[in-house]
Structure 1
C-alpha cells in the first residue's frame, strides 16, 4: 500500500486552488499583482497566471461552499486591512481541518490510497484514537467476512428472499449504531452473492437486534449473520455438536425475547433459528466471536451438509 500523507494533498491540490481563488478575488477588489504576490507569498508571475485563469486547481475545492465562504472572507479582510497574514493563516488552517473531516481532502486521500476506502478512516480528525482503531478493525472484519461468504460453494441457495447480512459489534455495544453491517444487505444474483457496499455502522436492524441480544448475554459473541432456515443445515450443526436453539419469530420486542431465550438456554447458542410467522420469512442466525468466525461456521455447515 503506497503511503500518501494528507498534507501532500493540501500542498499539491488545495493550496494552488485556494491561492488562485484568492488572487482573483483580491484583484477584483483593486489590489495590484505586486500586492497580491506579497500577501500570498508567491511571485508576481504566479499571480499573473492565477488571475489569467492558467493555474488549474481542483474543482472540488473551488466549488466547495465552505472554501468559497472562507476565501471571500479572507479576501475582504486583506483588501480592507481588517485582517493580516496571521488572521488569514488561522482561517485557512481551520478550513483545512474541516475539509479533512470527511470532506474533499478526505475524499482525495481515499482516491490516492484506495486501501483506506471502507475503513471509516478518521486519522486526520482523531489521530490514533483507540476507539477509532476498534471501529476500523470491526469494519475490516466485516468486509473480509462478506468476501469470504461470497466464496462459499452453494451459499447462494441459503440466502433468504429478503437478503442476508453480516454484522459485528464493538466491545460493550449500546445499540445498532455500534454494529457494523453491509448497507442494503447481501443478495443472491444469478447464482452468486452481490455485496452492494462496504460495511457501515448502523446499517442493519435485524442482525443487529440478534447480535446485541447475544452480546448482552455473552460479551465474547460479537459476530453474526443470517441465512435461510434449512433443516439440512440444522442437522449438520447438530452432527458437529453445535448448540442450536429455536425461538418464536412473532415477538414485538425480538431483542428482549432473544435475551430471555439465551439466558434460559444457559448461554448464546451457536445457531438460533425460527420457522417464520405471518409475513415473516424463516431465518437462522449463526453467531461467532467475530464476523469472520460466524462466516467460517456457516462455511463448515454448508460443507458438512454437502
Structure 2
C-alpha cells in the first residue's frame, strides 16, 4: 500500500539526498564522505551525482525540497549532530503533510485522495495539543500561588488545534481546576471538555488564529494591581454585557482590533468577575501568569 510515508521514503528522500550530494560535492566533499553523511553507498552517491533526475510529480514541490536540502547540507558542513539533522528532516515531513502541493503530488503517486495527508497531520496535531497542555497543567498544579488565583466558578485551561471549528477541536480540563486541601487539582485534559473556553478560542481564531490558549483566574484589587505592575496589555469588558455569549463575542472582537495579553470581565449582577489570560500556547499563558504572580 502506497502511504504518505512510503511516498516520502521512496520519492521525496531520494530527491533530497541527491540535492544534498550535489551541494556537498560542489563544496569539495568526496563521494566516500558524502556516502557516510547520507547513510548510503558510494555507488548510490555516484548515481545521485551523474544519473538522478527527480520524477515529474515532484515539479510542484521542488522549491520546498531544494530549501530543505540546502538546510541539511549546511548542517552537515557545520558538523551538526546527526540526531539534530534527523529531527529536522522528520519535522519537515510533518510540514510537507500539511502542504496542499505535497498532498497533490502524493495523490498522483498513489492514486489515493490527498485528503489523507491532512487527516494524518490533524491527528498528529491533536496529540501534540494534549501532550503540551498536559505538561503545562502539571507545572501549573505544582505552583503554590496558583491555588489563590482560582475563582469561585473554578478555572479552566484550554488549548486548541489550529483553526478550531467546534468544541471537539479544543482540549481543556474536565470539571475545571479546583482546590483540594489548599492545593490545585485537575483531571487530565481532554478534547471537548469545556464549552465556554472552547467557544472563546473558536471565536477568537476567526480574528487572530495565533491565539490558541487561555486560562481564567479570579478578579480582585490585588490581581488588578499585579496585572498593572506586570506591564501586560489589558482590556476591560463593558459592564452592560448580559450573557456568556455576549462576553465571548466581545472578547473575540477585541482580538480583531489588537492582541491583549489579558481581558478582564468586571462582572455584573449574579456573575462573578473574571480575568482571562491568553497566549499562543499553554507555555505562553503560564509565562504571563507567572509575571502576574510575581507582583501578588
Band the TM-score falls in, shorter-chain normalisation? 0.5 to 0.7
* Counterpart among 173, 178, 195 of residue 182 in structure 1: 173
Shift of 1:255: 2.5
Matched, 1:250 2:248: no
Shift of 1:228: 0.6
Structure 1 stretches lacking a partner, 5+ long: 1-125
* Counterpart among 188, 197, 214 of residue 204 in structure 2: 214
Q: TM (normalized to structure 1)?
A: 0.54
Q: 1:102-141, aligned counterparts within 5 Å?
A: 129-141=120-132
Q: 1:1-306, aligned counterparts within 5 Å?
A: 129-195=120-186, 197-248=187-238, 249-251=241-243, 252-263=245-256, 266-305=257-296
Shift of 1:211: 2.2
3-state DSSP of counterpart to 1:217: coil
3-state DSSP of counterpart to 2:231: coil
Structure 2 stretches lacking a partner, 5+ long: 1-116
- Write the distance in 2 (CA, Å) between the matches of 1:247 and 1:253: 10
3-state DSSP of counterpart to 2:159: strand
CA contact (8 A) 1:217 1:268 kept: no
CA contact (8 A) 2:214 2:277 kept: yes
Q: TM (normalized to structure 2)?
A: 0.56
- Write the distance in 2 (CA, Å) between the matches of 1:296 and 1:151: 15
Report how many residues are paired. Answer: 178
Shift of 1:262: 3.2
